[in-house]
Amino acid sequence: MADIRLTVGQAVVKFLDNQYVAAEIDGVMTETKFVEGFYTIFGHGCVLGIGEALSMEKHTLKVYQGKNEQGMALAAASYAKTHNRLKIIPCVSSIGPGSANMVTAAATATVNNLPLLLFMGDSFASRQPDPVLQQVEQTYNPTVTTTDAFRAVTRFFDKVTRPEMIMTSLLNAMRVLTDPAECGAAAIAISQDVQGESYLYPESFFEKRVHLIRRRRPEPYELEKACEVIKASSFPLVIAGGGVRYSFAGNALKKFCLNHNIPFAETQAGKSAVESCCPLNLGGIGVTGNACANTVAAKADLIIGVGTRFSDFTTSSKWLYSNAKVVTVNVSPFHAAKLDAVTVIGDAEVTLQKLDELLAEYRSAYGDEIAEAKKKWDKEYARLSSIEYSPDMTPENKIRTADCLENYVKNVGGKICQTSAIALIRNIIPSDAIVVGASGSLPGCLQRMWTTDALYSYNMEYGYSCMGYEIAGAVGSKMACPDKEVYAFAGDGSFNMLHSEMLTAVQEHLKINVLLFDNASFGCINNLQMGQGIDSLCTELRSRKGNDPIREGDFMNVDYAAVAAAYGFKSYTARTMKELENALKDSLKQTSPVLIDIKVLPKTMTDGYGSWWNVGVSEVPHGQRAENALSERKEKLSEARKY
């Protein structure tokens, strides 16, 4: 066997440049290059190791210059999601704060089962220069460094302190990144002196390597038990999670549901795996679900969860369908076992096809209930789409309405209602545009109101609900789909937390569209805060006046359009629906990145629809609202599942 002498940095680059994946999609085996780029912010912990290899060696990897380590890693996670996990962009950072900045992104990827490969610089394996710049020292254990923070937020973590260790580390990382059940972040910390050290690696290690994305076949015994439960039900409901998308099982799910007259609802991750126009698609379910899905779910006697991990937002904190039996289809035994379900461990597409065959002539007992529920929601959607500002209006959330609206209109000038804005945007932008979001009230409004007749056009990170994903995620989606319009739905709170990758969009000529909903607050959390009987504090962007509480000041009017223009974006400010309409239409003519600063009235988001969310409530309440919240929590907990 021939050997080749390379540094660790060179070995990493050469290995990744030859990784491919094979996946069966619609009955056809497809092979794609798994790694096509690299995202990096160079520092002393990586610029002379992996950085040297990326700069000086021959390879086909496109290198992107990140602006914030968290931002670039979130963009990479979004890139992988947009490619349905068939492509990745590894990220490399320096030691210390550079690596620590990626911890949040690692957690985001792991929670959402997205493949994210991270390389972090680390302190010297030799320990001779210790403490090197940016090194955290622990007196009880010299091997513990900043990178140990990744242990809790990754599916695979390793520290490379010898050159030959990189081989097993890379192979294990690829195992996790291509495993549908274990997919998440893989983080490899490499001592910065070791990155430049050499080793005689076997040439075979760098040959083209194809990783099969396995479709796990379900066991006949589990299929039989699941069919027994389904046949015994009258009003089953399918919940389609992210596993439907990543196994390309949308057509199989649609056929299954149509053949057996079973309606289905969507999680945030499962939305756009099947077209919204399907007559059995009820839309979003749970805490951020619509009245249509939640009404049907409350009456269901069986829930069939396909590729979902049953988050508290999907189950309404285990309350919404607490009396229904549960069947799960999932590649992960861990997720499949939730809610004391009858489990089928297997790939979503393969399992749905098998269940479809075995159920034969079974059909649910639904009559006109599905059509009637959809009709009622269409009427509610029309109402939400036409809400206009007036001084005496009553928004969806009635808490502190008069003060909020009067102060906001006076000091910011915006008169746009959030639900009306979303409906207008949906009507104007292309039907196949990719929409990206993550946090605040927008995910709820979008899961309820956004129609997705173009497959895989909905990129909502709501497993970790990571503020800052929105703009970075839009960059990643645009990298993955340069021919499509990409829209980031971001609140002002998220924008202020992380918008650094806007500069990358300008640098790489990526036309993203940032729709900045500025209600001068963390509006979603302000609703939660005040709804639980707590006076507003630090959830609204108000200026302080003297010694008065910050909640008593005026709403601040920030010119976000000017911020974007300074980056090189084409920017607009919309305070009325007509201005928003004009900006949206003109933005479609642009080739440079776009930001529309939408001045949106507080308290004009969607709310409720028969859901409940279990959050901590003070057992020593202050006032009637707090007493009501505590009473409601006790009531709902008594009705919810106990497992």
User: Greatest CA separation found in the chain?
Assistant: 81
Cβ pair 476, 82 in contact under 8 A: yes
Strand order in the sheet with 264-266: 281-284, 264-266, 236-240, 302-306, 325-330, 342-345
- pLDDT of 81 over the 90 cut: yes
DSSP string spanning 31-90?
Answer: EEESB-EEEE---TTTTTTHHHHHHHS---PEEEE-SSHHHHHHHHHHHHHHTTTS-B--
Task: Determine the Cα–Cα distance for residues 571 and 565; give it in Å rounded to an integer.
Answer: 6
DSSP 348-395: HHHHHHHHHHHHTT------SHHHHHHHHHHHHHHHHHT----TT---
Rg for the chain (alpha carbons), in Å?
25
Pair 95, 525: CB distance under 8 Å: no
User: What distance lies between CA 470 and its chain's CA centroid?
Assistant: 9
Q: What is the C-alpha separation between 301 and 285, in angstroms, rounded?
A: 16
pLDDT of 122 reads 96
Residue in 268, 225, 220, 211 with CA at minimum distance from that of residue 245: 268
pLDDT at 527: 84
Q: What single letter denotes the amino acid at residue 498?
A: L
pLDDT at 397: 78
Q: Which two tokens stand for residue 474?
A: 């839009």
Q: Using the 8-state DSSP alphabet, how is residue 558 labeled?
A: -
Q: Read off the tokens for 113.
A: 């089962």
Cβ burial of 139 (10 Å; 0-12, 13-18, 19+) is: exposed
Closest CA to 108 of 473, 463, 479, 443: 463
Give which of 230, 245, 192 is closest to 84, Cα–Cα.
245
**pLDDT value for 551:** 84
Question: What does the pLDDT average to over 508-529?
Answer: 93
Distance, first Cα to last Cα, the chain: 55
d(CA 189, CA 192): 9
Q: Is the pLDDT of residue 1 over 90?
A: no
> Would you state the pLDDT for residue 102?
98
Asked whether the predicted pLDDT for residue 320 surpasses 90, the reply is yes
The answer to whether 250 and 306 are in contact (CB under 8 A) is no
- Distances in Å between the Cα of 220 and the Cα atoms of 227, 309, 328, 336 are 10, 23, 15, 16
The two structure tokens encoding residue 532: 């639980």
Q: Within a 13 Å sphere around the CA of 447, how many CA atoms are in the beta-carbon half? A: 35
For residue 165, how many other CB atoms are within 10 A of its CB?
18
- Least confident window among 109-123, 160-174, 391-405: 391-405
* Residue 152, pLDDT score: 97
Adjacent-strand bridge partners of 264: 238, 281
In three-state secondary structure terms, 141 is coil
Give the residue among 137, 256, 126, 131 at the shortest CA–CA distance from 197.
126
Cβ-contact 277, 120 below 8 angstroms: no
**pLDDT class for 351, splitting at 50, 70, 90?**
very high
Counting every residue written for the chain, the total comes to 643
Q: Give the model's pLDDT for residue 50.
A: 96
Nearest to 564 by CA among 467, 466, 445, 471: 471
| pLDDT surpassing 90 at residue 391 | no
Residue 282 pLDDT greater than 80, yes or no: yes
Strand order in the sheet with 28-33: 28-33, 19-25, 209-212
- What are the pLDDT digits (tens) for 443-465? 999 999 999 999 999 999 999 99
292 pLDDT tier (thresholds 50, 70, 90): very high
**Structure-token pair, residue 554:** 């005026």
Residue 396, pLDDT score: 79
Q: Give the whole-angstrom CA distance, residue 589 versus residue 542.
A: 36
Span 49-63, pLDDT tens digits: 999 999 999 999 999
For residues 152 and 208, give the distance between their C-alpha atoms in angstroms, rounded to a whole number. 32
pTM, two decimal places: 0.97
DSSP-assigned letter for residue 542: B
User: Coil, strand, or helix at residue 98?
Assistant: helix
pLDDT at 410 over 80: yes
Decide if pLDDT at 370 tops 80. yes
pLDDT in tens, 153-205: 999 999 999 999 999 999 999 999 999 999 999 999 999 999 999 999 999 99
Upper half-sphere CA count for residue 363 (Cβ side, 13 Å): 8
CA distance 575 to 596: 10
CA gap 410, 601 in Å, rounded:
11
Are 257 and 329 contacting, i.e. CB atoms less than 8 angstroms apart? no
Alpha carbon distance 490, 471 (integer Å): 7
